[in-house]
Amino acid sequence: MTLCFATNNTHKVKEIQALLGNSFKLQSLNDIGCREELAEDQDTIEGNSLQKAQYVFDHFKVACFADDTGLEVAALNGAPGVYSARYAGVQRNAEDNMQLLLKNLKGKRNLNARFRTVITLITQSGTHQFEGILNGTITFDKRGTRGFGYDPVFVPEGYQQTLAELDLDEKNKISHRARALQKLVLFLKQHE
């Protein structure tokens, strides 16, 4: 089955293609000729995921899925959440986002956090959403060069390393995106 993943983020495409294996042919936005930046102006992670998938389905008439992810930190009442990518501003700079997060957490005791991904699948037969959660804690000691976003300051539950220290195979076994994608793949295989 051919599916469009509504992104041009090469990190995400690589991560998800590794999870999909040979079962599905994955296309990016570039592959289907979509050059525009997809809007993400909803108030929820679910809303952003749906907005992106709906745009691709409506304009390019292809089965597609889109994801949105947020880092939800307990001490910050769930922030940055839906604003994770632009937490420190519209420039969407990962380093700036991490710096602002750590600044806002100074003096806080509860460093519990979770990554939450919602994937929206839209095909001719309907719309479905799948959620994946990875619990962990924030560390003030940035470590690792793998991954992207907040990975260098996020330590998954049961691990000593940050997400940015884990190799791709290990990360794919536990990540929030992997958990949501496993639900998506299971659904696709059951309904293919």
Q: Which residues are catalytic?
A: 68
Q: Degrees (nearest 5) of the Cα angle 14, 17, 21?
A: 145
Strand 25-27 to strand 2-5: parallel, antiparallel, or no bridges (unpaired)? parallel
Q: Give the gyration radius of the chain's Cα atoms.
A: 16
Cα–Cα nearest to 28, from 62, 70, 68, 54: 62
Task: Report the run of H or E that residue 138 belongs to, with start and end.
Answer: strand 126-138
Residue with tokens 């691709």: 56
CA 91 to the chain's CA centroid? 18
Say how far apart CA 16 and CA 154 lie, in whole Å: 20
Q: Report the sign of the C-alpha dihedral through residues 12, 16, 144, 110, in that order.
A: positive
